A and B are shown apart, each in its own frame.
Chain A
Amino acid sequence: MGLTAHLPALQVVLPLLAAPLAVLLRHGGFAFGLVTACAWAAFAAAIGLWLQVGALEGGTISYHIGNWAPPWGIEYRVDRLTSFVLLLVSGTAAIVLPWSRASIEREIPADLHYLYFAMFGLCLAGLLGITITGDAFNIFVFLEISSLSTYVLIALGRDRRALAASYRYLIMGTIGATFFVIGIGFLYLMTGTLNLADMAERLRGVENSPPVLAALAFITVGVSLKLALFPLHQWLPNAYTYAPSAVTAFLAATATKVSVYVLIRFWFSVFGESLIFEKLPLPQILLLLSLAAMFAASFTAIFQDNLKRLFAYSSVGQIGYITLGMSFDSVNGLDAAILHLFNHGITKAAIFLLIGGMVIGLARPGAVLPAPTFDRLAGLSQRMPLTCFGIVIAGLSLIGVPGTAGFISKWHLILAAMEKGQFWIVGAILLSSLLAIAYVWRFVEVVYFKPAPEGATKQEAPLSMLIPAWLLVIGTIWFGLDTSFTVGTATEAAMQLVKIGK
């Protein structure tokens, strides 16, 4: 067996090893190099896995930890959807980490740098672990690893309110994780197994029993808390606003997306579509909540004064589109959800990276970084043309303008709605896109049409920040024009999931 057979394990182990090594090194620079190298290695592993799964033609890779065969041992299981999410998570980390060097220099005290990188490594390992594992309790363990490190990362924010935001997320996240593990407990009670594939088989026949329904309820609510489904999103805006910029970008692109992945996994691969979509009113509830998120959160976003907060609310709205796709119960709907999960991930990462660079450029050397509020942004396009133009392009992707990644996923969502014959949903998607135009336009108006304050000089963000951010911006255009990778993978993943669920 060569190294390639062990890619599923290496995927998680590399960032997991990087974290304690970074602590032992006790040096910001070394820790940075190590964790970044491991993130890139994880990205390479994700690409390798994507190629391997592609070669299997609809099959799955199963890796037995400790050489104990499932369902007794822990199994890492990679199918199309898994490899797609792994690519998103490790790819974002590989881009955000080099970017974050210059950013945390200004945001985090120097003696904490190595701990920041250790936490980042742990968070990455946790998120990758949630995605790749095929064991229900293992998901919980990795969920805790990623959540606990996330709370620390958010609390590192230079604003004192970061502590309160982190604490709030800790309370909400812990409730979510507790609900999730209660649900797993019920499932274990009914099936006697923790392996997801085995569990799915054993659940056939006892689907209607009260413990299974209770488990479904607990897991759905618990994961919805983590993915910030509309009424459960209260932790998100503050956490994103006050966290260090690099953390915001990484979390916005990955943390909620991985939670969506867990929900898809449980709904489609474990409980099965017939229970979720035919016997229970779950799709109707999810549809309502998604619409509420698309309108209420996007509407709230328009009135925010802090740019980070504005895009945080926009994230809640965009998650609405993902869950809307899930509620359709069709290959096309799921396809749109998976597509939007990816497209929105890279778009939001690009925006938050650019805002982070903008904040650095706004600050006087050595001074405390200002919050990106609109009154400070007047006429900024003359001082930072590249940064502002990048945010506009990514903003167009949020709206769903043709030629950007956002358009592709919204187009697929509209196709899925039309396939169901529900044309009013098509109207709702278009209407909520108008709200996105409103909040992106607010940015454009302030930055391009307000006069710059006297004596402002041209000062772009450093190149080490502009290049990674622009890579993502180019990504949003690339995936809007050449959709063979994203649409191809998402469709295959959706077909695979629906086939399992039937």
Chain B
Amino acid sequence: MKNDLVLRVIGKLLIPFILLFAVYVQFHGDYGPGGGFQAGTIFAAGIVFYALIFGLDNARKVVPDRLVEAMLATGVLLYAGVGVAGLLLGGNYLDYFVLDSDPIHGQHRGIFWVEAGVAVTVCGVMLKIFYMFASRGERDRDVP
């Protein structure tokens, strides 16, 4: 679809806003509908959109496979790390109350990092699945 001028222009125009909307959904998750899961999916959808227009190879230059794999792991680590931070600060595992001197602010801080972890992993998983399926044809061609 690289030769489709309208799609290319619209895509270039829209993709930054899709990514921005993902970030909005992420940070708005505390107060309204949204959160890490949705944000991660929307962010990945932006990249998938880019890959559909400009091709998989170009998308791989933007978000390489190794980065995707690292994202999968980093999100989980971030989530579990918040739990361990609670442990180290003298609370139970995943205890947000101790993350700040003000317990309510501690809750905010905890949920923020946990949601960030969720977003990173979900985005990574979405992209991993997309890359796996999208590159199936190539791999079959390599093997006669």
| Residues on A facing B (Cβ under 8 Å) | 1, 6, 9-10, 13, 16-17, 19-21, 23-24, 26, 63-67, 118
Does B43 belong to the interface (CB within 8 Å)? Answer: no
Query: Are A20 and B72 closer than 8 Å at their CB atoms?
Result: yes
Query: Are B73 and A23 closer than 8 Å at their CB atoms?
Result: yes
Q: Is the interface of A mostly helix, strand, loop or mixed?
A: helix
With contact pairs A6-B87, A66-B86 given, residues A17 and B80 touching in the complex (Cβ less than 8 Å):
yes
Determine which of A6, A21, A65 lies in contact with B77 in the assembled complex, contact meaning CB atoms within 8 Å: A21
Using CB atoms, name the residue of chain A closest to B103. Answer: A67
* B83-117 CB contacts (< 8 Å) to partner A: 83-84, 86-87, 90-97
Query: Are B83 and A13 closer than 8 Å at their CB atoms?
Result: yes
Q: Is the interface of B mostly helix, strand, loop or mixed?
A: helix
B residues less than 8 Å from A66 (CB atoms): 86, 92-96
Query: Are B76 and A19 closer than 8 Å at their CB atoms?
Result: yes
Query: Are A9 and B92 closer than 8 Å at their CB atoms?
Result: yes
Q: CA separation between A21 and B69, bound complex, in Å? A: 11
Given contacts A6-B87, A17-B77, A23-B72, 19 further A-B contacts (CB under 8 A): A6-B92, A6-B93, A9-B83, A9-B87, A16-B76, A16-B80, A19-B76, A20-B72, A24-B70, A24-B73, A24-B74, A26-B66, A63-B92, A63-B93, A65-B93, A65-B94, A66-B95, A66-B96, A67-B91
- Closest chain B CB from A45 CB (angstroms): 13
Can you show 18 pairs from A to B with CB atoms below 8 A apart? A1-B90, A6-B92, A6-B93, A9-B83, A16-B80, A17-B77, A17-B80, A20-B74, A20-B76, A21-B73, A24-B73, A64-B92, A65-B94, A66-B93, A66-B95, A67-B91, A67-B92, A67-B95
Q: CA separation between A1 and B92, bound complex, in Å? A: 10
Query: Are B84 and A23 closer than 8 Å at their CB atoms?
Result: no
Q: CA separation between A19 and B93, bound complex, in Å? A: 18
- Which residue of B77, B87, B92, B97 has the most chain A CB atoms within 10 A of its CB atom? B92
B residues less than 8 Å from A64 (CB atoms): 92
A residues less than 8 Å from B95 (CB atoms): 66-67
Using CB atoms, name the residue of chain B closest to A25. Answer: B73
With contact pairs A17-B80, A24-B77 given, residues A9 and B93 touching in the complex (Cβ less than 8 Å):
yes
Query: Are A13 and B92 closer than 8 Å at their CB atoms?
Result: no
Q: CA separation between A13 and B83, bound complex, in Å? A: 9
- Closest chain A CB from B123 CB (angstroms): 15
A residues less than 8 Å from B69 (CB atoms): 23, 26
- Closest chain B CB from A74 CB (angstroms): 9
Q: CA separation between A13 and B80, bound complex, in Å? A: 7
Using CB atoms, name the residue of chain B closest to A63. Answer: B92
A residues less than 8 Å from B90 (CB atoms): 1
- Closest chain A CB from B73 CB (angstroms): 4
